[in-house]
Amino acid sequence: MVLGAIAIWSFLIHFGVGAISGSLHNLGLAGFIIFCSYTLGVLGLLGVSWYVIAPSTPLRQLPGFVFGRIMREVAADILPLAQLGGFVVGVRGACLFGVSTSLAIASTLVDLGAEMAGQLLFTMIGLSVLSLRPPPNFPHKIVDPAIYAGLVLGIVTAAGFFFSQHFAPRILTRLSVRWPEKMRAHLASVQLELADIYRQPARVALSMGLHLMAWLVAVGGVWLTLRLMGARMPLPMVLVMESLVYLLRSVAFFVPGALGIMEGGYVLLGPILGLPAEIALSLALIKRGRDLAIGSLAVATWQILEGRWLLGWSSRPSS
């Protein structure tokens, strides 16, 4: 986190605060609110992507999945946690709305795999656009090896993640012989939920498709934001830039909030794809501001819900 903060500060010094503030001024408060609202719509779609995985779940529990999905992003983006912490907080957020703990955990595991698959498809679309419409002077010899190495790593990781969900429960069952009875009961219920989910593969495939749709819809929000900032970047190049930046973020999953990683990705890729570096950095900073704005409201809501339970004003959520 410290190294990421130093990197962001170095970018600000190098490109000049004045040039960056000009782009931010062009966007304005109204444009920023539009971008935040657009992102909430994308997060809602991601919540639906998680919800469709859970079999026989009533529609009234959909808000729990949407809120849990927002909390997953918030915890990974603005709290000092790596992405693993985001998954735990996301499960808790869903449980506060009445989703059972075992279902929330099992569906989260499957949803993560579906999201990986959707993102890989998104990256492949971006690479296809890049091969069909390469920008002039694109440094293929330097950039291509890193891109394809990251893509191969992502494919191997996603395949390993799905595969592990079939043999890991058996290993955990053997290891849990000496665990407390309550923990073994929770593990058994999660395994049953996983088996129930994978008996309906069409739901998993639908979730992958919805995740891909969410990634593509998010590109439209970035394109609109750039237009409001006064930057005229073609939509296909925005798609390429977003697909590569998020591939980079996925590879650097261990960095809390991808601090410095996202900014560096935009600064490096923006000029190559026709976006001035200072505007690319401004876009990254606007995304940080959006994450803080949405995240602050989400964390406040989370604490209010926890407080209502602690004070006895609402029924006890799943543990």
Query: How would you write the pLDDT of the chain (319 residues) with one tens digit per residue?
Result: 788 778 878 877 777 676 677 777 888 889 999 999 999 999 999 999 999 998 888 899 999 999 999 999 888 777 766 667 788 899 999 998 889 999 999 999 999 888 888 888 898 888 888 877 877 776 666 666 767 776 777 677 767 766 776 666 667 767 776 778 788 788 888 888 888 888 888 999 999 999 999 999 999 999 999 999 888 899 999 999 998 888 777 766 677 767 778 888 888 888 888 898 889 988 988 998 999 899 999 999 999 988 887 887 666 565 5
pLDDT at 55: 84
Q: Find the angle CA(173)-CA(177)-CA(178) to the nearest 5 degrees.
A: 140
Distance CA 284, CA 274 (A): 16
CA distance 215 to 238: 12
Q: How far apart are CA 157 and CA 151, in angstroms?
A: 10
Please tell me the predicted confidence (pLDDT) of residue 318.
Answer: 52
**List of residues 6+ apart from 20 with CB closer than 8 A:** 12, 278, 281, 282, 285
Tokens in use for 299?
Answer: 């964390």
Residues of the chain by 3-state class (helix, strand, coil), percent to 5: 85, 0, 15
Here the tokens at position 97 are: 């709305």
d(CA 43, CA 236): 22
Number of Cβ within 10 Å of residue 285's Cβ equals: 20
| Residue 4: strand, helix, or coil | helix
**Which pair of structure tokens corresponds to residue 98?**
């009445």
Report yes or no: 104 and 95 within 8 Å, Cβ to Cβ. yes
Q: How many CA atoms lie within 13 A of 103 on its CB side?
A: 23
**The pLDDT value given to residue 19:** 63
Alpha carbons 148 and 212: distance in angstroms, whole number: 19
Structure tokens at 57: 């779940």
DSSP track, 10-25 = HHHHHH-HHHHHHHHH
